[in-house]
Amino acid sequence: MPERKTDRRSPTRGLSQLTIECVAPELDSGRYPVKRIVGDVVRVGADIIKDGHDAVAAHVVVRAPGEAAHAIPMEYAADEDRWHAELTVDRVGRWHFTVEAWTDAWETWRGGFRKKVDAGVNVRVELMEAALIVKAAARRAKKGPARASLTQTAKVFDTAGDTPTDAVIRRALDPELASLLREHFLPRDLTRHGRELVIVVDRPAAGFGSWYEFFPRSTDPSGRHGTFRTAVKELPRIRRMGFDVVYLPPIHPIGRTFRKGKNNTLTPEPGDVGSPWAIGNEDGGHDAVHPDLGTLGDFDAFVKAASEQGLEVALDYALQCSPDHPWVKAHPDWFHQRSDGTIAYAENPPKKYQDIYPINFWCDDRRALWEACRDVLAHWIEHGVTIFRVDNPHTKPLAFWEWVIADIQAAYPGTIFFAEAFTRPKRMKSLAKLGFTMSYTYFTWKNTSWELRDYCTELNTPPVTDYFRGNFFVNTPDILNEYLVDGGRPAFRARAILAGTLSPLWGMYAGYELIENVPVKPGSEEYLDSEKYQIRVRDWTAAGNISDEIARLNAIRREHPALQRFGNLTFHHSENERVLFYRKAANAGNTERFGADTPEVRRLTSDVRTGSSEKAAITDADLLIAVNLDPHAVQASMVHVPIADMGIAPDQPYVVHDLLTGTKYTWTGSRNYVRLDPTDQVAHILRVER
């Protein structure tokens, strides 16, 4: 029989008496950070497993931005067989945490000691063992009261004899002694979770806000090219409608080569202003402003005026260039070179974008290119902009976005990146995981009950809620959905209410309030006389506008925290599929809490819910929403209220207060009646009053 080879290494090498697993919150085994909003109370959980019957202890080791690590004790929940701790993320930035566990030698000893004392067993040896533990803790304690107390206690235990006094027993079981030992005794089997996890904590505007998109060049009532100075005059109107963010399409010089004319024609006329997404000419590139809009100083004044109205300015960040962009001449290698020596323009057959050159992010000089793109962001941040709507991020490398977002947010905490990525679902989610603060969604194309239920449930279910924040834009300069074309004013009203109540983040492009819905041709999502290619002067007081309704919707959103959260949306049965019925719960509906009350959190959140120019009562209550999805006909339905989830008895009457009209109804039980007329009241937003 051949001799058996033996492994002379320790059989316990690389092994541990404890196992720490299923740590949460965690995304893709820690590859990506989870997202939270400042003030959230994050519930950290872990499964901790050990052989035998010894007591176990654990804590969460947390590093807040700019601070040293500290520990938060974890508590054991027997019904879950799981450990938990709560931490309040009270500042913006990247938080790091992990879990440590160990055999709690003192609690193990104290539990056995108590049993033996109660049973009348001799405990002299046990007290000698206790003395060894206490001495070890005393050696680690600094000179002072703690070390003195521990040293004296060890002497008492060493000299206790066979029949310890009541005083000795009380000292052994004293919670104060247990606290000293937790602080100073070093366990022999301290075990750390295999990875450190990250939480990206964003400011409140990352999780709640109403966006309004408009072109500054269309703000001169005379029809001439508008400026930042004329655009300032639009800000009070936008604020009256309750918006928080004004988003500007690119404000940079526009290329002249292959400039597009009205309605995207390839044959522009003299005076055609072109598409602002064709960035750059002899006046500058991404760090310049179009001379017809004014100067950089005029832009600074616009940002200041917006801030005085309680509005933030968001800029379009479109990493593409016109043929006239300074980068094309200085760095032709930053672009895609064709075999004939020309630079490739953008194409999406049959569409051609001859006025735009895509950037080659994997060129040989990519380090200089990536840093130049980053420096564009830093330039505008220095001019007061900390929100960027990113154009087509899915056509640029994921590695670039992960790098540039982390780099910018390290230097400028609180910077928000909004991904305009209408692409495959997994690619959209990947962009969110690697750092984008919020994302456009497919909401625009979800118009039936089942589509909305399925999609919104997906966005409100973990793990998606850990990283993906959907901003429900109802339209854009590129997207005029057929539902709006066909449904007219009732459709516009319904879609605004859906967007503003299904998601804490929603937005609209200027003209929506005027029910602009004429496509360039049947079946097209392009607008006739699109503002992308020409100046549009509008009469904001035109008959049939819904500006007041939008203002009421945004006021309701500011007044009710249930509409400011992700993860608290549930759909409930409507007996008519054309009436969508859902609940936004006052309670978040998960294991975490929102909005911790600290001075720093109050400072950061004070302007988000109420606006800086007006104050509104904050009412945390359940909301029930019913929306008629049929823009052409009255729809009635029996809707099923989740009274059990809301703590309402089957025979208990309760009042629902319609926040859109002020009307109050008394309902009883789960099954109740609604009737919605698209020409009058297209929806109910009902606050449940107890």
The burial of 66, by beta-carbon neighbours within 10 Å (0-12 exposed, 13-18 middle, 19 or more buried), is given as exposed
Beta strands at 438-439 and 416-420: parallel, antiparallel or unpaired? parallel
Which pair of structure tokens corresponds to residue 313?
């300015």
pLDDT digits (tens, 9 = 90+) for 130-173: 999 999 999 999 889 999 999 999 999 988 887 888 999 999 99
Does residue 614 register a pLDDT over 60? no
420 flagged as catalytic: yes
The pLDDT assigned to 602 comes to 53
Do the Cβ atoms of 91 and 112 come closer than 8 Å?
no
Peptide bond connecting 236 to the previous residue in cis, omega within 30 degrees of 0 = no
Per-residue confidence band for 597, with pLDDT thresholds at 50, 70 and 90? low
Domain 18-103+195-200 and domain 599-689 have a common topology = yes
67 flagged as catalytic: no
The pLDDT assigned to 603 comes to 53
Does residue 601 register a pLDDT over 80? no
Do the Cβ atoms of 558 and 616 come closer than 8 Å?
yes
Mean pLDDT, the chain, whole residue set: 93
Helix H or strand E encompassing 548: helix 547-559
Per-residue confidence band for 84, with pLDDT thresholds at 50, 70 and 90? very high
pLDDT digits (tens, 9 = 90+) for 256-287: 999 999 999 989 999 999 999 999 999 999 99
d(C-alpha 97, C-alpha 357), whole Å: 43
Which pair of structure tokens corresponds to residue 189?
């089997």
d(C-alpha 41, C-alpha 37), whole Å: 9
SS (H, E, C) 171-238: HHCCHHHHHHHHHHCCCCCCEECCCCEEEEEECHHHCCEEEEECCHHHCCCCCCCCCHHHHHCCHHHH
Does residue 617 register a pLDDT over 60? no
Do the Cβ atoms of 407 and 375 come closer than 8 Å?
no
The pLDDT assigned to 604 comes to 55
| 18-103+195-200 is classed CATH 2.40.37.10 | no
Question: Three-class SS of residue 370?
Answer: helix
Which pair of structure tokens corresponds to residue 623?
């909301």
Q: Give the single-character DSSP code of 269.
A: P
d(C-alpha 684, C-alpha 497), whole Å: 9
d(C-alpha 452, C-alpha 465), whole Å: 17
- pLDDT average, residue stretch 471-483: 97
The domains of the chain are located at 18-103+195-200, 106-184, 599-689
Please work out, in degrees rounded to the nearest 5, the angle formed at the alpha carbon of residue 215 by the alpha carbons of 210 and 216: 110
| CATH of the domain spanning 599-689, picked from 3.40.50.970, 1.10.3720.10, 2.60.40.1180, 3.40.720.10 | 2.60.40.1180
Q: How far apart are the first and last CA of the chain?
A: 83
Does residue 507 register a pLDDT over 90? yes
Do the Cβ atoms of 583 and 572 come closer than 8 Å?
yes
Please write down the long-range contacts of 172-181, taking CB distance under 8 Å and 24 or more positions apart.
172/110, 172/113, 172/127, 172/130, 173/110, 173/113, 173/114, 177/134, 177/149, 177/153, 178/106, 178/107, 178/110, 180/137, 180/141, 180/146, 180/149, 180/150, 181/106, 181/133, 181/134, 181/137, 181/150
Phi, psi of 632 (to 5 degrees): -110, -10
pLDDT digits (tens, 9 = 90+) for 654-669: 999 999 999 999 999 9
The pLDDT assigned to 64 comes to 97
Does residue 3 register a pLDDT over 60? no
Query: Of 126, 244, 391, 622, which residue is the catalytic one?
Result: 391
Do the Cβ atoms of 419 and 396 come closer than 8 Å?
no
pLDDT digits (tens, 9 = 90+) for 35-78: 999 999 999 999 999 999 999 999 999 999 999 999 999 999 99
| 106-184 is classed CATH 3.40.50.450 | no
Query: Of 104, 316, 324, 420, which residue is the catalytic one?
Result: 420
**pTM score of the predicted model:** 0.92
- pLDDT average, residue stretch 507-536: 97
Question: Three-class SS of residue 471?
Answer: strand
d(C-alpha 40, C-alpha 601), whole Å: 9
Which pair of structure tokens corresponds to residue 216?
């500054």
d(C-alpha 50, C-alpha 46), whole Å: 13
Q: Using the structure block, give the residue that is written with the tokens 């390290």.
A: 410
The pLDDT assigned to 588 comes to 58
- pLDDT average, residue stretch 603-625: 60
The pLDDT assigned to 14 comes to 53
Task: State which amino acid sits at residue 138.
Answer: A
| Percent of the chain whose predicted confidence (pLDDT) is above 90 | 87
pLDDT digits (tens, 9 = 90+) for 296-312: 999 999 999 999 999 99
Does residue 494 register a pLDDT over 70? yes
- pLDDT average, residue stretch 231-238: 98
The pLDDT assigned to 83 comes to 98
| Percent of the chain whose predicted confidence (pLDDT) is above 70 | 93
Does residue 343 register a pLDDT over 90? yes
pLDDT digits (tens, 9 = 90+) for 534-593: 999 999 999 999 999 999 999 999 999 999 999 999 999 999 999 999 999 997 544 576
